[in-house]
Amino acid sequence: MTETTRSTAQWQAADAAHYLHPFTDYKSLAAKGSRIITKADNIYLWDSEGNKILDAMSGLWCVNVGYGRQELIDAATAQLKQLPFYNSFFQTATPPAIELAELLAQVTPPQFKHVFFSGSGSEGNDTVVRMVRRYWDVLGQPERTVIISRHNAYHGSTMAGASLGGMSGMHAQGGLPIPGITHIEQPFWFENGQGMNREEFGIRAADWLESKILEVGADKVAAFIGEPVQGAGGVIVPPSSYWPAIQRICDKHGILVVSDEVITGFGRTGRWFGCETMGFKPDLMTFAKGVTSGYIPLGGVMVGDRIAKVLIEQGGEFNHGYTYSGHPVACAVALANIRLIQREGLVDRVRTELGPHLAARFAELGEHPLVGEAQTCGMMGALQLVKDKSANRVFDSALEVGMVCRGHCFGNGLIMRAVGDRMIVAPPLVMTIAQVDEMVALIRKCLDLTLADVRQRGWL
C-alpha cells in the first residue's frame, strides 16, 4: 500500500515533478494536474476527492471481471508465497505457466494448442513479427518478410508494435515504421464507405489487401495483422463481409493471418475471441489485458498448428523470449480469471443478454442530434459525434468536440474515451442490466450537455 494521506494537490505536484505518463503532453498535464484514482470496486472508481466514477472503459479495456474480485487476489497472494518468480528459459517451467498454457488451448479456437508468453500486448506483437519471419525462414522462404496492417490500427507502442499499428502520430516520432511493414486503409464505413452499402464496402476494403499483396509481390508477404474490431482507433466494427473476404485473400496467397485479440479476447465481443465473432481462422492470436482482467501484466501469442509444427519439428532454437515469459504470479491470476469467466458464464452472457441490451440502448443514443453513427459489438460501443446529422457532416477536428464531451463525462462521474469525435466505451463484462442503463443515462446526459455547450460556443 502507498501512503494515502496526501492531498490531491500534493499528489499532483509530485506527479508533475517526477512521473512521465504514457501518451501525454507533459507541459499541458502539469498545468491541469492529474486525476488521482485511489480505489475501485466492481465497475466503479473513486478519486482522491472522494468522487465515485463509473468506469465505462474497464480501466484500459482490461478489467473484464470488474474490480475487487477476491479469487484473483487470493490466487496472486498464494502464488507469491509459493513461488513468486522463476523463469522458463533453461529447461525449466512452473506449474502455473504450464496449467495456463493447457487452459488457453481449451478456450481458444481448435487450431491453437501452443502459447508463447510475454508481459504485454506490445511484446506479444513483437513476438509475432519475429515468429512469422522465423516461420518463413525455416520453410526456406526467407524473402517472405513483409507484414501488412491497416492505417489507424493499434498494435502497441514498442518499435514493432507501433510500426504494425497505423497511428500517424506515432509513426511521426522515432523513424517508424521499421522496414518490412506496410499499411492499407481501414474498413471504416463512416469515413471511407458512405454512399455504399456496408457489406459491399466490406468487400471493397478487403480488396485493398489483395491490391497491396500484388503490389508488394505475394512471395514477399509473410502475414496480415488486424484487430477483429479496431479498439483504440475508435471501436470501428467492420462490415460482416470484411473478415471472411480477408481470410479468402490470405488463403489464396498462402499468407498468415494474425488476429490481435488484445482487446477483443476473453469475451469482449460475446465469443471467447473476436475472430470467432467475425468468422475467420487466424494462424496467430495476440492477447493481453483481459487474460488477467488487468490485475497483473501478462500477454502472449497463441500459435496455430501450421506454425507450431514447423517451429517445433524443423525450427531448432528460437532465439527469442522475455524474463517474464510465463511469470508464475501472472499465470496464476490468469488461471483464476479465466476460471471465473467460465464459472460465471460471462462470455455467453455478453452474447445473449448484455451485448444485445447495450446494442438496443446505443441504437436509442443514435437518435440523439449529435450522433451520426452508433455501433456496438458485444460490450464495445462507439458514438460518432457529428455537426449535421442529416448529412453525416463532422465537426472541424480542431474544435475537439470529443474532448468537450469527455470533459462532461468526467464532470458527471463517467469515464468514456474520446477518439477524435468518436466517443467509445468498453465496460466490464460483469455489469448488470441496471448498470448498463445507468451508464447509458449518464452518456445521454453528457451528450445533452455537450450539445448545449457546442451551441453556446457557436459551433453548430
Residues that bind ligand PMP (CB under 6 A): 120-122, 125, 154-156, 227, 231-232, 260, 262-263, 288, 299
* Beta carbon of residue 119, minimum distance to ligand PMP (angstroms, whole number): 8
With b meaning 16 or more CB within 10 Å and e meaning fewer, what string describes 278-314?
Answer: bebbbbbbbbbbbbbbbbbbbbbbbbbeebbebbeee
Nearer to ligand PMP, 108 or 125 (CB): 125
Nearer to ligand PMP, 150 or 361 (CB): 150
Q: Is 327 exposed, middle or buried (0-12, 13-18, 19+ CB in 10 A)?
A: buried
Helix boundaries (H) for 344-432:
346-349, 355-365, 401-411
Nearer to ligand PMP, 227 or 421 (CB): 227
Nearer to ligand PMP, 156 or 372 (CB): 156
Nearer to ligand PMP, 76 or 232 (CB): 232
* Beta carbon of residue 292, minimum distance to ligand PMP (angstroms, whole number): 11
Nearer to ligand PMP, 23 or 90 (CB): 23
| Strand ranges, E, within 119-209 | 146-150, 181-184
Integer Cα distance of 146 and 212 in angstroms = 11
Integer Cα distance of 379 and 374 in angstroms = 13
* Beta carbon of residue 230, minimum distance to ligand PMP (angstroms, whole number): 8
- Please give the DSSP secondary-structure letter assigned to residue 376: E
Nearer to ligand PMP, 376 or 450 (CB): 376
404 within 8 A of 390, measured Cβ to Cβ:
no
* Beta carbon of residue 429, minimum distance to ligand PMP (angstroms, whole number): 16
Nearer to ligand PMP, 156 or 239 (CB): 156
In degrees to the nearest 10, what's the CA dihedral of 428, 430, 432, 436? 10
- Strand-pairing partners, residue 55, are 415
* Beta carbon of residue 156, minimum distance to ligand PMP (angstroms, whole number): 4
408 within 8 A of 453, measured Cβ to Cβ:
yes
CB-facing half-sphere around the CA of 416: CA atoms within 13 A: 34
Nearer to ligand PMP, 288 or 454 (CB): 288
φ, ψ (nearest 5 deg) of residue 103: -70, -40
Nearer to ligand PMP, 119 or 372 (CB): 119
The residue written with cell numbers 506490445 in the block is: 122
CB neighbours of residue 6 within 10 Å = 14
At 321, which amino acid appears?
G
Residue nearest to ligand PMP (CB): 121
* Beta carbon of residue 139, minimum distance to ligand PMP (angstroms, whole number): 27
* Beta carbon of residue 118, minimum distance to ligand PMP (angstroms, whole number): 9
342 within 8 A of 266, measured Cβ to Cβ:
no
* Beta carbon of residue 350, minimum distance to ligand PMP (angstroms, whole number): 18
Helix (H) / strand (E) element for 258: namely strand 256-260
Nearer to ligand PMP, 121 or 372 (CB): 121
* Beta carbon of residue 22, minimum distance to ligand PMP (angstroms, whole number): 8
* Beta carbon of residue 158, minimum distance to ligand PMP (angstroms, whole number): 7
- Which DSSP string corresponds to 361-372? HHHHHTTSTTEE
Instruction: State the cell numbers at 424.
Output: 467509445
* Beta carbon of residue 381, minimum distance to ligand PMP (angstroms, whole number): 16
**Nearest-10 crossing angle of helices 328-343, 70-82:** 150
